[in-house]
Amino acid sequence: MEKIIRHLKNSEHVLVTSHVNPDGDAIGSLLAMGLSLDALGKKTTFYNKSKIPTVYRFLPYLERIVSKIEGRNREFDTVIVLDCGNLQRVGDLFQSPNLFLRFPVIINIDHHITNTYFGDLQLIDTTACATAEIVYRLIREMAVPVDKAIATCIYTGIFTDTGSFRFSNTNKAAFEICNEMVSVGVDPYNVAKNVYGTYSLGRIKLLNMALDSIELSYNGKLSMMTVTRRMLDETGTQPEDVDGLIHYARRIQNVKIAVLLQEYRNEGKTSDTSPKSKKIGGKKKFHVSLRSDGTVDVATIAADFGGGGHHTAAGFNTESSISDLKNRIFNLMFDV
Ligand code: AMP
Ligand code: MN
Ligand code: MN
């Protein structure tokens, strides 16, 4: 951590970024880190490739996050990559030619068990409940005062990544830090209201279709939910409306692994790797989400498919026909 702090203090222009299709931790960590660098007097660019989901639009200084880096604003000496197990999770930023005229130092701050230790400096703690927990510690170490805006971002990162303090990553630090953030002025009800507030009618109809799609493996230990592009089109919903649907599949009695197959459209879950969603010989592109009850390590399964994540929540992207994909996943049950 000392090395990172020394490097940041000597940096001039820092790019702060997090993973595509961001969740509350990716956005909360990005804003908290960026605002702290602002407080240190650094020139800071906040970047995320994807559209920010509506539920996170209440976060302070959200307008600082850009999805394109243009013109002269391209010279960074440092890039901080947050909440990403590997560099591809940022999207195609690092593939753009001539983007980094000064060949910056990459700092990798994350809590995924599958982190590849990319970059030049790493701050990785797989026991942290959220990247926001690590960012909080870094901010404290840098002696940046935590104001209400930074506190709201840290609180939201921890609150959402722990599933409101319900998931297995919920630790002592989650409560301690959130308690402190509330004393700085965060309103827990306001955060919860924004994050879990109201659903559009389309989202409720999508939930109906998603529930209807659930299939169980022969032994009842794996549940599979499928969300197609057509379902999104028919209900007028966006990929962000799919967030959280997998929990219904996870909650079924005796289920150890829940799987969500999400077919994506152009702006979908995996627009980071390939911009066009084309059918090639019946093959379609999917984002696959995996959740376990804690008895099965889904991070390893996701890694076998080229993705990653945590012990109980992981994901990967793939291109396959739907029947092949289902067969491959149902076959996993022979090993469980
Ligand atoms: P999701 O199913 O997209 O909500 O993701 C669950 C967890 O798996 C998150 O911690 C993600 O960071 C991780 N994850 C999802 N997709 C990928 C991927 N393609 N590569 C690496 N990690 C992923
Ligand atoms: Mn995340
Ligand atoms: Mn996270």
Nearest CA to ligand 1 atom 16: 315
Pick the CATH number of 201-335 from 3.10.310.30, 3.30.70.890, 3.40.50.620, 3.40.710.10: 3.10.310.30
Question: Is the CB of 91 within 6 Å of ligand 1?
Answer: no
Helices (H), the chain: 2-10, 24-39, 131-141, 148-161, 172-184, 188-196, 201-212, 229-235, 246-250, 298-304, 322-331
Q: What residues in the chain have per-residue pLDDT under 70?
A: 71-74, 96-103, 265-281, 334-336
The ligand that comes nearest to the alpha carbon of residue 111 is 3
Give pLDDT, residue 193: 97
Q: What fold does the segment set 2-196 form as a domain? A: inorganic pyrophosphatase (n-terminal core) (3.90.1640)
Query: How many angstroms does the Cα of residue 132 sit away from the middle of ligand 2?
Result: 10
Pocket test of ligand 1: the residue of 169, 310, 319 to mutate, having most ligand atoms within 8 Å of its CB, is: 310
Q: For 280, which DSSP code?
A: B
What pLDDT score does 72 carry?
A: 60
Distance (Å, whole) CA 17 – CA 88 = 12
Q: CA–CA separation, 115 vs 230, rounded Å?
A: 34
The closest residue, in CA terms, to atom 14 on ligand 1 is 315
Model-level pTM?
Answer: 0.90
**What residue spans in the chain does CATH classification 3.90.1640.10 cover?**
2-196
Q: Check if 24 has its Cβ closer than 6 Å to any atom of ligand 1.
A: no
Query: What percentage of the chain reaches a pLDDT higher than 70?
Result: 90
Q: Output the pLDDT for position 285.
A: 95
Atom 22 (ligand 1) nearest CA: 308
